[in-house]
Every structure is written in C-alpha cells, then in structure tokens.
Amino acid sequence: MVFMRFRPRIFSPSLFGPSKPRTPTLAASPPAAAAARRRIVSMASSTTASEDALRRALAERQAAVDAQAEAVRALKAAGAAAAKAEVDAAVEALKALKVEAGAAARRLQAAVGASGGGGGAAREEMRQAVVNTLERKLFYIPSFKIYRGVAGLYDYGPPGCAVKANVLAFWRQHFVLEENMLEVDCPCVTPEVVLKASGHVEKFTDLMVKDEKTGTCYRADHLLKDHCKEKLEKDLTLSPEKAAELKHVLAVLDDLSADELGAKIKEYGIVAPDTKNPLSDPYPFNLMFQTSIGPTGLNVGYMRPETAQGIFVNFKDLYYYNGQKLPFAAAQIGQAFRNEISPRQGLLRVREFTLAEIEHFVDPEDKSHPKFVDVTDLEFLMFPRELQLSGESAKLVKLGEAVSKGTVNNETLGYFIGRVYLFLTRLGIDKNRLRFRQHLPNEMAHYAADCWDAEIECSYGWIECVGIADRSAYDLRAHSDKSGVPLVAHEKFSKPREVEKLVIVPSKKDLGLAFKGNQKMVVEALEAMSEKEAMDMKAALESKGETNFQVCTLGKDVVITKKMVSISMEKKLEHQRVFTPSVIEPSFGIGRIIYCLFEHSFYTRPSKSEEEQLNVFRFPPIVAPIKCTVFPLVKNQEFDDAAKVIDKALTTAGISHIIDTTAISIGRRYARTDEIGVPFAVTVDSATSVTIRERDSKEQIRVGIDEVASVVKQLTDGQSTWADVSFKYPSHIGPQDCLVSSIA
Amino acid sequence: MVFMRFRPRIFSPSLFGPSKPRTPTLAASPPAAAAARRRIVSMASSTTASEDALRRALAERQAAVDAQAEAVRALKAAGAAAAKAEVDAAVEALKALKVEAGAAARRLQAAVGASGGGGGAAREEMRQAVVNTLERKLFYIPSFKIYRGVAGLYDYGPPGCAVKANVLAFWRQHFVLEENMLEVDCPCVTPEVVLKASGHVEKFTDLMVKDEKTGTCYRADHLLKDHCKEKLEKDLTLSPEKAAELKHVLAVLDDLSADELGAKIKEYGIVAPDTKNPLSDPYPFNLMFQTSIGPTGLNVGYMRPETAQGIFVNFKDLYYYNGQKLPFAAAQIGQAFRNEISPRQGLLRVREFTLAEIEHFVDPEDKSHPKFVDVTDLEFLMFPRELQLSGESAKLVKLGEAVSKGTVNNETLGYFIGRVYLFLTRLGIDKNRLRFRQHLPNEMAHYAADCWDAEIECSYGWIECVGIADRSAYDLRAHSDKSGVPLVAHEKFSKPREVEKLVIVPSKKDLGLAFKGNQKMVVEALEAMSEKEAMDMKAALESKGETNFQVCTLGKDVVITKKMVSISMEKKLEHQRVFTPSVIEPSFGIGRIIYCLFEHSFYTRPSKSEEEQLNVFRFPPIVAPIKCTVFPLVKNQEFDDAAKVIDKALTTAGISHIIDTTAISIGRRYARTDEIGVPFAVTVDSATSVTIRERDSKEQIRVGIDEVASVVKQLTDGQSTWADVSFKYPSHIGPQDCLVSSIA
C-alpha cells in the first residue's frame, strides 16, 4: 500500500501518508516543484499572489502609520513652537492612516482565514454534525472507552461494522471475482526478516521530539507545521518574505531531514506545546508494533504495517497455482498496524486499520490489458504532474486519452485507475470530490514507473484513500535477494531464439603473475565490464596489445595486456526468457474510504414541522448497513402477524432488516431509519399489502405482502432501480402528503 | 471464547485448549472423575480392562519364563548330577514358555497399538492424503515459506481463503442476520488494563521448561505426556500398576501444578528431547503477544487473545443502542493471537487465528428463548456429564428433552446449541462425527452455570471447535469493578414494588469509644452481615443486651452491646430492578472448523481407467471456494464466444467461477475441478446449450446458454437442489457414459 509503506518502499514523501524522505531538500528544492507542492499541501496556493499583495499593503500602511506617529510626536515635542492647527491636522492624518491600516489588516485576516482553512468554520461545523451522528448512532466508538480509550484506536459499532462488511463484500465482487484474482489471507504477526527485506525495519519511521523534562513525545513535523500555520494565520505583521519562507517550509515539510527539522525547531524557538519546556533533537521512531515470537524472546516480530508483503513472499506458489501464466493478480484484505506517535484526524489516522491490497503481476515488456477497452470512455478528474507543476487544478480527462497520450504510463495502470473510479463512485463517493493525483517525480522512488493516488475531498481536505502504483520489479527482487529463492517468471519461446552474449574470460594465470594479491579485484572488474567497455577494450588490445583499465576497488588504473583476457560475442540459443515481473499495486485504505463516504452521504433536511433538522445518510443500497425497516403502523395482531411473515421472507432472502414496533409516530420512525441510512422503509398498514418508502425522495409505493421481500431484494441487489419499481407498482400517497402531491 | 481464554476466565482445564488450572489435583483427583476424564483424554479407555489383563498375562508368562530359566541354570550348575533328559525337558519347557510369553507380548502390543492411536496408521494415512491435497492446491501455505516459515503461522491460499470467506458469510447470515445481532469490530491491539480486568495478564499462561544448556523451550505438559504415551505404547514390560499410574498422569495432566509437573519430570528422569540435557523447573509463560502502544514505551499492550473483551467493554453503549432492552446479542469476527510455546497439530494449534464470538446478554432471572421451539426436535449426539462420569459414550438426544430434563441448564443455552448444530452440519460437518460435550464440574469456573463444547472428530481425535458457555455475570462484573463504570441493565416495574430491605446502622460514637482504632473494622464487619446474621444478632441484643461477634479482619471476637448498632427490616418502594446481565457465549474457532470440514469433505475415487485415485472435496455449494467451472469442450471460436457470454452472466450474478481453456481432456479437467471441490462444471459443447455436471454423482443435465447462470445461482444459493434441476432439465449422457448408462 503506497501511503502506508511509503517510507520504506519508496523513500519519498506522501502528502497524507507518513512519508518523510531522509535526503536534505530544504535548500535544494527547485522553486517550480516547491510551488507546485505548496499548491497541494495548502489550499491557499491559488490565493498566494493576492495574499502577498495584502501583506505588502498592510506593511506599507503600517509603515505610514509609524511615520505619521513619529511626525506627530516630533510636532508635540516642539511644544508651543508648533501651531495647534498643524498638530491637529497631523493627528487627523494619523487617525485616517490607522483606519486604512485596520482595513488592510481585516482584508488580510479574511484572505488568510479563507485560504488557510478553506472555509474552515463551515467545514468544521459540517464535520461536527456528521461525527455527532456517527458517534451517537454507534457507527464508530472510541475503543476501550470505559477505560478512557486509547488514541488512534476505534471500534466499528453495529451500523459501521455492517457498512464495512458491505464495502468489503463489494470490493471482493468488484475486484476479486470480476478479475479472477487469487485472494490470500496471511497472518498479521510477521518475522523480522521479511520486514528487513522490505525495508520497513530500517526506514518505516517518523521523526520524533521529546519534551526534555516530562518525556512527552511529539511528531517533529507536526510541531513545525502547527507553528508555521499559526504564524501565517494569526500574525498579521508578518512580512511577505517571512510568510513566503514559512509557506516554503510547509511545502517541503515532508522532505526535511532530522537535522533540518531540528534546526528549524531551534530557529523558530518551538517548545513543547503543553509545558513550554525545551525539546530534544528530532530522532527517528519506528512505527511498527514490535513483539516477540515464541517463548525465547530471541525472535523479533512485528505486526505487519501492510498486507502486501504476505503476497510477495508467496509469489512463487501463486505463479504455479496460476499455471505459470502472467499476468495475474493476488489480493488480500486484512488488518495492518502503525504505532503512530500522536494520532490526529480522527478516523483518518489510526493505529490499526483494514487494508485491501491488490498485487497485479505483469510482464514488464507487455503492460497492455485486454479489458482496458471497457474503461477508456470513463471521464473524471485527473491531476497529472504537469497541472500540479503549473499551479492549475485537476481537470476532467478521458481515461483512454490519458493512456494514449502517455500521461498514465501504461494500460494496466490505467485499467486499475478506471476500476478504482468505478468502485468508489458506486459506493457513493461524489465524483466531483474525487480526483486522481499523479505523484510528482520527487515523490516517487527511482524504480517506480508511475503512481497515482485516488484522493477524496472531505472536511480534512483532499485525503489519499487509494494508491495505484506501478512499482516495477522492486518488491519481488528485494525478497529474492534476501531469501535466496528466485521470484521470477518464465516465458517459453515457441522456437529457440538466437541471442548474442558477451563472454569475458580473464586468464587467471597471467593476471596472477602480474597483480599477485590484487588479482581478485582485477578479475572482478574485468568481468563487470559493460558490453561497450568490453568491446572498446577488445579493440584497444587488438590494435595496441595493451590498454589502461581503471579498477575502482584498487583506486587506480592498471595495464591490461592482450593475453590477460579474452573478450568475444558469442551466439547462443535460448529456449526461454527468465524475468522478474512488474507489480502494479492498487492499495485501499478501507477506513478512510468509509469515513469519506460518511461525509459524502450525509445531509440534513427539515422535519415536517420544520422545527428541527433531520439527519440523513444517502447510502446506496449495497452500502446501507440495514437494507430495510418494517413498521407495523399501529399495534394490533393483524399487522404484527403480517410483519412476522415479512420478517421471515426478508431473512430467507438474506436482507438485513429491523422490525420497529415502538409506539411512536411513523414520521419519527422514518427519521430514525433515515439517520442510519436505511434506504427502504416498509410500513404495514393492512393485512394484505404494505407501503415501501424510498429514503431520499420519500416516495411510497404499495406492494402485496408476498412480494415485499423480492422487491426489496431487487432494489438492494441492483437488479431494479426505484424508478423501475415505482413504474410497476402503484404509488401511495400518505395522508400527510395529500396536500402537496397529486395522484400519479 | 472458551477454549481460547479458558485459563484466565475459567481457570480449569480444556482438553484441546491450553488450559491448566493451578490447583494441585494429582493426589486429590477422585477416581471416578479421573476415570471419566481418562476416557476422554485417550481413546484407549474402553479397552483399558482387556489391556490390563494382557499386561498381567504377559507379566505372569514372563515370570514363568524367568523361573524356568533359573531352574535350567540350577540344573546345569549341578553338572553331571542332573540327568541329561531332565535338563532337556526343562529347556523344552523354557522354550514353550518363551513362545507363550512372545504371543502374550504380541497380543498386548496389538491392543496397545489399536487403543493408543485409535487405528493410528489409517488415520495418519488419511490425514496425509488430505493435507497433501490441501497444500498442493494452496488451500493453505506455511507462512513466510521462502524464509523457512514460522511455526504456528499459516496463510490461506486462494481456495482456502474463499472457503474461509464463505464460512464467515454463512456465519453472518445464520447468526447475525437471523438473530438481529449487533456486530462490532474492535482492534486487535489492546491496552493492558482491559486484559488485567479479564484475568489474562495474570493467568493466561502455559507451563514451560528450558533446556538448561541450550535454552530451548518446551511445554512441560507436552514432555510428560509424550513420555507417558511412549512408555505405554512401547514398554511391554510395564507392570499393570505402573501402566495405571501413567494413565492416571495422562488423565490429570491438565490439572497439574508447576510443582507437581516438575516433580513428575524429575521422577521419570525426563530430559530435553533434542539434546538429552537436564531441564529447568517448570514456570509459567504468558501466551499473549506483548507490545507497546505509542512511542514512550510506557504503555504496555497485547494482541488480543480473544475478541469477547471488545464486546464486554462496549456493553453500556450496545445496551442503549438496543433501546435498553434485554435480551440481545453482540457478535464479533476477528483475529486473535496466542504465542504458543511450541505449536503442534498443524492448523489446529496456531499462533494467530480467526474467532467468531457471540455474547448474548440475558436477564439471569429469565433465560427462556422465544425461538427455542424451532430447535426442540433436533436430535444429535450429546455427551452430558453423567455419561462421561459413568464411562459411556455420547448418545443421540433430543434437544427439547435435554433442556426439559435439566441436562442443559436453560432454554437460551439450548437454543444456541441447536443453532450451532445446524450451522456446522449445513457447512458439511458429518453429524456422526459431531458431539456436544458438557464440561465436567471441575472443568467449569465456579460462576459458570453450564458449558458445552461442540467437538468434531478428525484424525487428531475429538477437537473442540465451538464453546457454548453460560458465564453468568462474571465478565461484565470484572469490567465494572476495574473501570468503575456500571455495566448493568434495568427492569422498570410497571408499578412500584414494595420490598423489605435490611437496614444496619452502627453507632459510630459508641463503637469508637469501645474499639478506638479498631472501630473501622468492626463497622465494616457489622455492615457486611447477611440478613440471617443480622436478625440473629438483633434477637440476641434484644434478649440479652449484648452478644459476641467475630470480626475476621481483627482475627477475634468482640462484644457488641445494644446501643452500638440498630438493626431493622424496612419496607421500601422500588421502581426498577438494577442487575448485571448473564452472558451466554457461543465462541467459534473458525480455523478448526474449516480444518475438520476439509477432513470430513475429502474422499477419493478411482479414475475412469482405474489407474489412479482421484481426490474430491464434497463441499456443499455455500462452502465451495469456486461455485462452477466453464470448459469449452474443444478450442474453437464458437465455444469461446459462448464461454464468454456465460462468464459475463456468472460474474453479474456474483458467482465465483473459472474458465478453463487448457487443451487437456475433459476428464482431466473435471478431476482438477473436483480436487478443489467445485460443485458444478459447465461444459460448452455447442453454441446454444451446455451441460452442467454435478461433482459427486457425476450426473449431467443439458441447459440453454442463457439459463446457465440462473440455474447455477439457484443451486448455489440453496433455492434448488440438484434433484430439482435434474427433474426440470434433460439429463445428458456423455459419450464415455453411454456404455454403462441407459438413456433417461
């Protein structure tokens, strides 16, 4: 998963991920890239120019005020020598200048407020409304609440758990089943050797500082970020130059080394937020939960930080299982763990989370995809590198064009981008708040061919929810090297191919005589020559009989004579090609997707009496935690019996439902059901037929009791739409609706 | 989960669980219970009597041989004094006795072999056949195999993963949906305080010994068990008394304290199996994987050993979510972890596993269940306490009778036993190899009302796969006490009830004068009196003016006079009852169920040519990893196009399938599909219709191409049986079958 293992596997920054490359880039960061990344990091970028102008204007006004104040003081100091009228005029002018400066300050404050938070207050309010509903309805619960909880750990309560199960079931249907993927299920407990090979043991770290007196830990970049943001938002006296510097720091925050972070913290005088104590220098903290496997205490293990490694180490078996054919994909859904230093952002940054990852193995020489045609016409917001670098916004692009123009590296990567788009929008993610952002060159590892993140906009900004990366052969090679087991694929040629191969045969006897103890280094250097180097040497030896040759391991040149080495190109017949497959990896942060889905699905509408706002989640049926509720209109035996018949039919059909027999008004029961996003409400108001109400339109149809289950099943399976069934069944006008609706 | 958390929560032995109570029972174990438990521990119990007789017979024969040998030696020593004829006769007699002893030894060996392994060789062979197929077909894979694996960790490969997903989906349908349970999803990382309250930190341990030189760790009970078993099976010279002793040790193995285990290990001279080095004394090793939450290293956490605690700590919220009504059930599916000292038994004893647990909260005064009538007529193998204690076998019992006779404690517990039976048998568990075994009194915690295990017989013996326990109020009380948050339910009375309440009012002034510094202890002791004690004291004070009173905390009696305390019964009006609900807990070890299902579903049948045995898994459609395969009979465009149409229809219908276009015979393709338990094979042999073959009967029907998906869906959804569809569609006789079948 890209955003979860960015550091160890790519060693480059991820905006919303924990990434922090260790190469010093603060000074070296090229202005264009820095400006572009600033665009992304802060939503303020497009207003940067006007904000700068406002800061400059404020500084000028303030300077004018200061100068005029000085003038007034000078006049007053002159005493009687100054005419009263002159003094009065100067004071009036000072007042006017102060009014102007005040206005300039307010304009700047407004600009900074709007850009910094992006309509911060409204977002915050909206988030509070969603989160309140989610917590009250037990979509999620802070874990171990009765023991005052643990930061970064959350439970899914009943409706949240059902939404999660539905999202995962749909993921299996949409990816695993549709693409015939090989799903595996590996343990969370992972021995150290695996995570050494993957790089996590060495590099899966965040930089931490400690309160030097209390020992409280903080993420170093968080403190620096908070400092810069607060300065930018609240200190109106900041010079445009200083503001630009702070913004630059924010833009390159993820790229700062420990030393650079430490230097900035010292330079800005940042102290521990709670105690104002001085802070330690930043040092790396590994984010994996460590444990010990078995009783000896000698075998270090970790809770996996991603599920992908379990797939890579099984490549060989899976390749054989697939009949030794490429391409194929393996998939895994499971828990992953990250011991965050100080989790923030609620459900978006947690210490344990569910990942769904796909590793699609493909011949690096053929990344076409037979089903790419199915997605070429999709059009959605893409945010390629060029747009980011030129400071523009994401644009609607046709996927087919993005691949044919080379914006997206290859068809397979493009195919998965399209499939991810379909997956997210079918779940109910708003397509206008979903974009695919390409990684900038400095975000990607040298080996990666191309990376795109599906980012979803929510009240926290644009959140990376799915990473789709062409990681080339990196992961399989790392495990091949460490384990000694070749993780390769074979292409058998239908007929053997003739290939020319470079053959270098050092004469150890002659080299030994000439170089004695250094012979080994010379031999290795000769054998390591590229084809061009070898051919140049061959030509030199043939023309001159000897040549100078640099042996790096000796740190000097040596003279090679003709008899010391024989160099030739030989023709050989090859029956197969052996290669390490490329990996294309779509990796889904399920919890983040679900949280964004909650925000995108939430809305409020006035109650009938318009006295209060009612909360609604407009979950599509496949996501809805409960597919329908059954309400006997009033309490009587006849309706109860009918409800029981419906209950049984719904259970048999496998439709999750609730029977609500509480003696409250049908309107309040509808509101209760809307609040957890139940799409269909069945009201039993006769012994033979019922009404079915659709949540968002509030329209009702009348259906016979024996048909209820099958109608609801069609609606929730996606076989029928509400339009289909309202065409087929008579619409029902509730007594309250008669005033405003005409009979259909 | 009972078998997974037995030790901390019940502190008593579980056969297949890790349990080992810490009370010394070796000496005290009552013979009847020991005999009964021996029955269960070893399958040899029923042959114990004849085995004893054989040992005795062998010992007698051996004694006779020894005596005769002595006689021969004496005769020979006498030299010429003994007549040659006499010596010859004695030697002949010795030979005859040796033959008899040999025969007796063989009879004993046969008896021991048969009883010890219970047809050991055949079981072992059967297990090997299943396990070979499972590993070859990637149902499971030893985890991290390329790094030589980690004991006790396994991956599910593609078919295994699909079986697991299907089992869990059916579990959700059968329990969560059918019973409207509140499903939750809590993290695996758990703070120490929660597991201190549950008892795991203190008591979730196994006894371990170390090789004193190499430090290698062993489970102490395993070494003692192996020693006893080997002696019993291989040492034919064992006296019946010694054999009985070893068997007794095996029977009480789970009950032995560290000291007792250590003493036996010393007594029997048991050494480290690999090195023959001496062993340390046994000491407890906590089986939880420990870790640290957050960066400070100060917050200890553990990977949860069961999922139940996540439900208990959420009781209050869930109770409110359920409208403050009882009964209700919460459920959770998730990973649990146990750091086994030395995992054995393949998939049955692993370090990480999936649990599915239900906590059904119920009023302790009303454990009836409205749906119990639905299961009363179920009849299956039950193994109540009495049968175990009298050495009998499990018997077919009607569930309704078991509850009405009080064998099963209450209706709710009975209801869940019935539902578990239905769940397991619908998955494909053989009902003749499934029994419900009641815990013996010494296996249960003092607070538990009743416990039953669903045990499934496989090649490892009877394996506990589901625990169904009435745990009374223990768990909620433990968390109430530790957290200070009352986890209780309320019953509002329709009209207030008058209750008599004991009121004890100590006069602190008088007590203070009399007892000075001890006053507090006396007050507490007075207030803690039961109703009877208080009423007795009241009577004594009224008649005699004073009375002796034992204060335990002071370790002595004190004299209480009339003015020191007032005791009365007062009538009060109560509006509600506040109580801690009882918990009835069905807890499923998903991996164990799946492994047993693999064994129960496996069979072999000869190939057409009868040259080889073909492997088949007879999974029911709901469990089968792939629901159907599609085989174009020969490679041509027409058939390929038809296969594509079917592919699309199956995908849309959500049916997992494989298209197999390999150019091998249809028979071999069928065999390949049988080996992973695919129930239906679709063969495309025309452009308009296909055949569908049922795996176990090998019968085929002919179905139009546009109907294939709906027919397979009906079959796999359980809406139609094979009999239904073979009645509806024409049967198809393959060319190979013509010779042996007549046209239907």
pLDDT confidence of residue A45 = 40
Best CA proximity match to A54, nearest among A115, A95, A96: A115
pLDDT confidence of residue A113 = 63
Q: How many residues does chain B have?
A: 744
pLDDT confidence of residue A42 = 35
Q: Cα B272 from chain centroid?
A: 29
Q: Which phi-psi region, left, alpha or beta, contains residue B626 (left: φ > 0; alpha: ψ -120 to 50)?
A: beta
How far, in Å, CA of B567 to CA of A71, rounded?
A: 91
Range of lowest pLDDT (A27-31, A149-153, A240-244): A27-31
How does A134-145 read in b/e, with b if 16+ C-beta sit within 10 Å? beebbbbbebbb
pLDDT confidence of residue A632 = 92
Optimal mutation site among B168, B189, B214, interface A, most CBs of chain A within 10 A:
B189
Identify whether the C-beta of residue A295 lies closer than 8 Å to the C-beta of residue A314. no
User: How far apart are the two ends of chain B, measured CA to CA in Å?
Assistant: 52
Best CA proximity match to B584, nearest among B261, B390, B307, B329: B329
How far, in Å, CA of B615 to CA of B672, rounded?
A: 9
Dig out the tokens for A252 from the structure. Answer: 């390159």
How far, in Å, CA of B463 to CA of B593, rounded?
A: 9
- CA of B210 vs chain A CAs: smallest distance (Å): 9
The whole-number average pLDDT for the span A602-629 is: 92
Chain A residues whose CB is inside 8 A of the B310 CB are: 143, 155
What's the Cα-to-Cα distance from A550 to each of A556, A557, A558, rounded to whole Å? 6, 4, 6
pLDDT confidence of residue A8 = 39
Best CA proximity match to A729, nearest among A720, A737, A738: A720
B271: β partners: none
Chain B residues whose CB is inside 8 A of the A651 CB are: 177-178
Between vectors from CA A327 to CA A322 and to CA A332, what angle results, nearest 5°?
70
| Tens-digit pLDDT profile for residues B421-464 | 999 999 999 999 999 999 988 788 778 899 999 999 999 999 99
Chain A residues whose CB is inside 8 A of the B185 CB are: 155-156, 160-161, 164
pLDDT confidence of residue A739 = 40
B116-191+294-488+580-609 adopts what CATH topology?
Answer: BirA Bifunctional Protein; domain 2 (3.30.930)
Optimal mutation site among B147, B357, B657, interface A, most CBs of chain A within 10 A:
B147
| Tens-digit pLDDT profile for residues A108-131 | 777 776 554 456 778 888 899 999
Q: Does the beta-carbon distance from A658 to B335 stay under 8 Å?
A: no
pLDDT confidence of residue A24 = 30
Dig out the tokens for A678 from the structure. Answer: 């139940």
Q: Which residues in chain B (551-580) have CB-CB distances under 8 A to chain A?
A: none
Which of A155, A185, A190 faces B314 most closely, judged by CB atoms?
A155
CB within 8 Å of B723: residues ≥ 6 apart:
none
Check if B180 contacts A (Cβ < 8 Å). Answer: yes
| Tens-digit pLDDT profile for residues A293-347 | 999 888 999 999 999 999 999 999 999 999 999 999 999 999 999 999 988 788 8
- CA of A524 vs chain B CAs: smallest distance (Å): 30
Which of B153, B217, B290 faces A291 most closely, judged by CB atoms?
B290
Determine the residue of chain B that is closest to A659 in CA distance: B180
What's the Cα-to-Cα distance from A607 to each of A361, A604, A611, A681, rounded to whole Å? 53, 9, 6, 17
pLDDT confidence of residue A49 = 60
Residue A624 has pLDDT above 80, yes or no: yes
B626-728 adopts what CATH topology?
Answer: Rossmann fold (3.40.50)
Q: Class of B205-286 per CATH?
A: alpha beta
Check if B259 contacts A (Cβ < 8 Å). Answer: no
How many beta-carbon pairs below 8 A join chains A and B? 219
Check if B168 contacts A (Cβ < 8 Å). Answer: no
Identify whether the C-beta of residue A310 lies closer than 8 Å to the C-beta of residue B149. no
Identify whether the C-beta of residue B647 lies closer than 8 Å to the C-beta of residue B657. yes
Computed over every residue of chain A, the mean pLDDT equals 87
Chain A residues whose CB is inside 8 A of the B215 CB are: 296
Q: What percent of chain A has pLDDT over 90?
A: 60
pLDDT confidence of residue A109 = 76
Alpha helix (H) ranges present in B551-603?
590-601
pLDDT confidence of residue A119 = 60
Secondary structure (DSSP) of A565-624: EEEEEEEEEEEEEEEPPEEEEEEEEHHHHHHHHHHHHEEEEE-TTSSSEEEEE---TTT-
pLDDT confidence of residue B23 = 30
Check if A144 contacts B (Cβ < 8 Å). Answer: yes
Q: Does the beta-carbon distance from B291 to A289 stay under 8 Å?
A: yes
Check if B188 contacts A (Cβ < 8 Å). Answer: yes
Q: Does the beta-carbon distance from A158 to B335 stay under 8 Å?
A: no
How far, in Å, CA of A562 to CA of A514, rounded?
A: 13
- CA of A701 vs chain B CAs: smallest distance (Å): 26
pLDDT confidence of residue A434 = 98
At residue A108, the 3 state secondary structure works out as helix
- CA of B690 vs chain A CAs: smallest distance (Å): 22
Number of neighbours of residue B568 by Cβ within 10 angstroms: 11
pLDDT confidence of residue B239 = 83
Mean pLDDT per 10-residue segment, chain B (744 residues): 39 33 32 35 46 81 88 82 81 88 81 59 88 95 94 96 96 93 97 95 92 91 91 83 88 86 92 92 94 92 96 97 95 96 86 97 96 97 93 94 96 98 97 96 83 95 95 94 94 89 89 88 87 90 91 85 91 91 97 97 89 93 95 90 93 90 88 95 92 95 94 90 92 58 36
Identify whether the C-beta of residue A281 lies closer than 8 Å to the C-beta of residue A223. no
Chain B residues whose CB is inside 8 A of the A292 CB are: 289-290, 339
pLDDT confidence of residue A101 = 85
Residue A40 has pLDDT above 70, yes or no: no
Q: Strand A450-458 vs strand B154-156: parallel, antiparallel, or unpaired?
A: unpaired
The whole-number average pLDDT for the span A176-195 is: 95
How far, in Å, CA of A471 to CA of A447, rounded?
A: 7
The CATH number of the structural domain formed by B494-578 is 3.30.720.200
How far, in Å, CA of B395 to CA of B664, rounded?
A: 50
Higher local confidence (pLDDT), A227 or B732? A227
pLDDT confidence of residue B12 = 32
- CA of B25 vs chain A CAs: smallest distance (Å): 27
Q: Which phi-psi region, left, alpha or beta, contains residue B357 (left: φ > 0; alpha: ψ -120 to 50)?
A: beta
How far, in Å, CA of B418 to CA of B3, rounded?
A: 19
At residue A513, the 3 state secondary structure works out as helix
Q: Predicted confidence band at A735 (pLDDT cuts at 50, 70, 90)?
A: low
